[in-house]
């Protein structure tokens, strides 16, 4: 009797994340998808992870060359999506491995899954550890305590996002504010940092302590954690990988009417003696 599995895997797309710390944060499910794919694409942030990924699957191919100095990022993203979908259309199972979480600030992953499903192919995205997850652990931040708001830094400024200063604020990609084209190297956009600082100082005092954060990419290396007053942000040691964490400022007022409707007792300080 013939083995029904002998024909090999059907064409499907799986997008996974490698997290950080080389292979230390890769789930068994993600590794299995990387090893078993007919074609593996990857985009990672350090040579050690690149070597590890290439050792998992001989078909591994980097998408990094889709970037080009001065080339608009949206053009690079379109090229990545087309390259991912081509072997899928040829009947191959495809896996795409991206550093961090594959669904957090990664346009090509979402677009590739969307278009693959639209074309009738099974497509899925597996969860992974993001830079923000690492931030919570390294800075000992509990987002459930005061709440937490996350924005891409350019979007935060351009769309005049409303936010609650009594909750934590996380701004990603603060080193490339307003930068539409790819530029090699780690030099930040100082003009964007200055504009961000001006906007934040409309809400927070100039001496409010903020934190520049970068997750550690390798074992035995510490994360980059730089605490500084908000006013010093324009000249701070920022890179293209930096995330800005702004701790809560002030205390949100409780709504006594809602407290009563929920049947909760008044807080101790407001009770009659």
Catalytic residues: 73, 77, 99
CA gap 125, 58 in Å, rounded? 22
Backbone φ and ψ of 221, nearest 5°: -100, 135
Question: In this structure, are strands 243-246 and 168-172 parallel, antiparallel, or unpaired?
Answer: antiparallel
**Which region, left, alpha or beta, applies to residue 174 given φ > 0 means left and ψ of -120 to 50 means alpha?**
alpha
DSSP string, 58-96: TT-EE-GGG--TT-BHHHHHHHHHHHHHHHHHTT--EEE
What's the gap between Cα 143 and its chain centre?
Answer: 16
CB atoms within 10 A of CB 169: 24
Strands, E assignment, the chain: 13-17, 39-43, 61-62, 94-98, 123-125, 148-152, 168-172, 209-214, 224-229, 243-246
């Amino acid at each position: 009797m013939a083995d029904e599995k002998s024909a090999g895997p059907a064409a499907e797309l799986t997008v996974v994340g490698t997290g950080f710390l080389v292979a230390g944060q890769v789930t068994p499910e993600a590794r299995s998808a990387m090893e078993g794919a007919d074609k593996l694409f990857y985009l990672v942030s350090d040579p050690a992870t690149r070597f590890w990924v290439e050792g998992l699957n001989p078909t591994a191919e980097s998408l990094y060359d889709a970037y080009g100095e001065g080339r608009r990022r949206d053009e690079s993203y379109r090229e990545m999506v087309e390259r991912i979908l081509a072997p899928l259309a040829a009947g191959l199972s495809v896996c795409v491995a991206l550093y961090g979480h594959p669904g957090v600030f990664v346009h090509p992953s979402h677009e590739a899954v969307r278009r693959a499903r639209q074309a009738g192919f099974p497509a899925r995205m597996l969860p992974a550890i993001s830079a923000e997850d690492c931030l919570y652990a390294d800075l000992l931040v509990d987002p459930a305590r005061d709440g937490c708001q996350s924005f891409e830094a350019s979007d935060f400024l351009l769309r005049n996002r409303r936010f609650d200063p009594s909750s934590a604020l996380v701004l990603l990609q603060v080193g490339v504010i307003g930068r539409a084209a790819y530029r090699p190297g780690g030099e930040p956009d100082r003009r964007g940092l200055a504009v961000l600082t001006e906007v934040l100082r409309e809400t927070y005092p100039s001496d409010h302590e903020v934190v520049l954060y970068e997750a550690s990419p390798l074992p035995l290396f510490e994360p980059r954690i730089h605490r500084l007053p908000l006013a010093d942000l324009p000249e701070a040691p920022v890179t293209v990988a930096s995330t800005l964490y702004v701790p809560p400022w002030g205390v949100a007022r409780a709504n006594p009417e809602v407290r009563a409707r929920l049947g909760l007792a008044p807080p101790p300080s407001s009770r009659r003696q």
